[in-house]
Structure 1
């Protein structure tokens, strides 16, 4: 082959390469321009819409969206197939977010950080748009505390997070497939039953990792919710703060733990006020409430023995103020009252014990025990 022919072939191939590169740049410019044009005209667009319009695959089109996002020319709202793109204007972003009021994701627990998950929810959805700062703070505290519990204590590989806003309520569910909250307490605190684990949990300051956690999470979270539910093992705890009541019921066995938290969009529950109620001047978690009827056995509404008192008092030496709620309790015996209001009080004199919802008979037995303590101190 002579040199002119070789030269012409090389020149042709070179020109074809240049033309191909130019065409690719034109295509890129056209697709980027099309994306921006669609957003300006319609307010938003998706990868699927541009893919359908151009005939290119979604994977190929996604590159252009990613490039425009990195350049700061568009903003992604939503996740995966629900992702939409808008111009980076506050009004456009806010409007797009308001159409996305739910979030569902399965996360691997290893390396997971609860605050980053919450930030991701705020970034990808409009769940917290136009919601008061107070309510957002309440949900953020509860969500991060409960997700942290799953991360630190569940021994699960994954955790499912669901958050939604509808009918004036914000709800989140956190589900792990680990050992279960009650079984974990039984093992770590050497308890004998799920019932004991529930009793222990509700006092507060009970944790399976005392070196790393204060045991405050569930105690405070259940008090700032409208409703709060724990499902684990074969038990369901339902807290209804609107009615100031809770129930414990038997359910089909649950693998791991499921937490459900619900609060009104315009909730007036104030996190600071709840903290103040149960903390001292040094902001230490120093107060708790114990619902006495939770410790009843055999359906009896009476508490007469010292052993019953021991079960209620277990772990309460950590607190400086204890409120015993006698709602639903008919009477208490001399031994029960004496053990709490004389023997235990004498051992921990700095701890204040308050009775709530007590009837005349209960108040009489408490007074007798307190009188004996006073006489002993003379």
Structure 2
């Protein structure tokens, strides 16, 4: 019996190129658990290899897997935005081949989270009729793009939040915990995705927001993409050591598991001017009272004015004592003005933002 089952498995592989435990169970009437023992034996002997996970799992000959794995994945889908579900979209793309099974577990979990979050945003926020999805492998990383022909993410934020410019919308987005549909969403998807992947970008409304986690840089430039809608691009290295728990842990309260921290980059507001006015300060801190800890990054800022520092570190902090602003990357000029406004070192030591 043992020899017959092994032969049946190998014969089917030779004929069809692939086999599942369900195929052999159905042909013999034996239980899947019993049949699985023979698959495991052949796998341990190196005669067959497992490709895929869960409902996509199947076995192939070793030479077939080498051939499959040697071919980079390049998948493209143009979908009508009608009754779409992001998890179903991802599962159907996983069925295109063993590309997902090749990913390290931590990378696979990040792709699962970030892909479904970005597709969900296009489904529920863009107002688009179609969603264009591409996923491809390069030598060292996986990249996917989600494009729509909707209202545009920055235009949507401006309209819903009453903001004046695209840069205001970008800054609002970077704060995290922001959403144009609060009854349905927490607004965390874009924020966490931008921290998980190695490279994240959004092109919309003539602007290109880039978050490069490999270089620890955030910048905005004019986008050559002038078409209507939004294009979100994400890429992650195959050898990334980043994990979901690491990113969630950095920006959530360990006691309540709520999203309570954020990182705001002041330099995005720098348009060849100094930060001197209260109005500039108010633009930066608007909406941040939702968070318990706010990281304010002064990288590249030469100096700030007294009114600017006073509005943030005294006026706003007094109005919102339940929140804590943590300045980072200050030169001595900025630190002098911030200290004059009332900031003291214990704000930094209370919580390490990493």
Question: Which category describes the TM-score, using the shorter chain as reference length?
Answer: 0.7 to 0.9
Aligned to 2:261: 287
Distance 1:337 1:328 in 2: 16
Distance 1:89 1:289 in 2: 44
Aligned to 1:10: none
Deviation by residue 1:21-64 (Cα, 9 ceiling, x = unmatched):
xxxxxxxxxxxxxxxx99735837xxxxxxxxxxxxxxxxxxxx
1:90 aligns with 2:59: yes
Deviation by residue 1:247-295 (Cα, 9 ceiling, x = unmatched):
2111231311111100011211111111111111211111111111111
Deviation, structure 1 residue 179: 0.8
Helix, strand or coil at the partner of 2:185: coil
Aligned to 2:31: none
Deviation by residue 1:85-130 (Cα, 9 ceiling, x = unmatched):
xxx9512598375346222111111111111111112222222222
Distance 1:104 1:344 in 2: 48
* 8 A Cα contact 2:309 2:337, kept in partner: yes
Aligned to 1:18: none
Q: Structure 1, unaligned stretches of length 5 or more?
A: 1-36, 45-67, 74-87, 373-378
1:40 aligns with 2:9: no
RMSD of equivalent CA atoms: 2.5
1:164-243 maps to which residues of 2 (within 5 A)? Answer: 164-243=136-215
Q: How many residues align?
A: 296
Cα distance change, pair 208–38 in 1 and its aligned pair in 2 (3 A): same
* 8 A Cα contact 2:313 2:343, kept in partner: no
TM-score, normalised by the number of residues in structure 1: 0.74
Moved over 2 A (4+): 37-44, 91-100
* 8 A Cα contact 1:97 1:124, kept in partner: no
The structure whose Rg is larger is: 1
Deviation, structure 1 residue 233: 1.2
Q: 1:276 aligns with which of 249, 270, 280?
A: 249
Aligned to 1:30: none
Which structure's residues are more often helix, by fraction?
1
Q: 1:324 aligns with which of 296, 315, 318?
A: 296
Q: 1:340 aligns with which of 312, 324, 330?
A: 312
Distance 1:89 1:229 in 2: 35
Helix, strand or coil at the partner of 1:90: strand
Aligned to 2:233: 260
Aligned to 1:141: 113
Deviation, structure 1 residue 161: 1.0
Distance 2:15 2:325 in 1: 68
- Which is worse superposed, 134-143 or 246-255? 246-255
Deviation by residue 1:288-307 (Cα, 9 ceiling, x = unmatched):
1111111123x12x211111
Aligned to 2:36: none
Distance 1:254 1:142 in 2: 24
Distance 2:166 2:199 in 1: 22
Distance 2:231 2:173 in 1: 15
- Which is worse superposed, 167-176 or 244-253? 244-253
Distance 2:221 2:307 in 1: 30
* 8 A Cα contact 1:231 1:254, kept in partner: no
* 8 A Cα contact 1:279 1:287, kept in partner: yes
Q: Structure 2, unaligned stretches of length 5 or more?
A: 1-10, 29-56, 345-354
1:370 aligns with 2:354: no
Cα distance change, pair 124–151 in 1 and its aligned pair in 2 (3 A): same
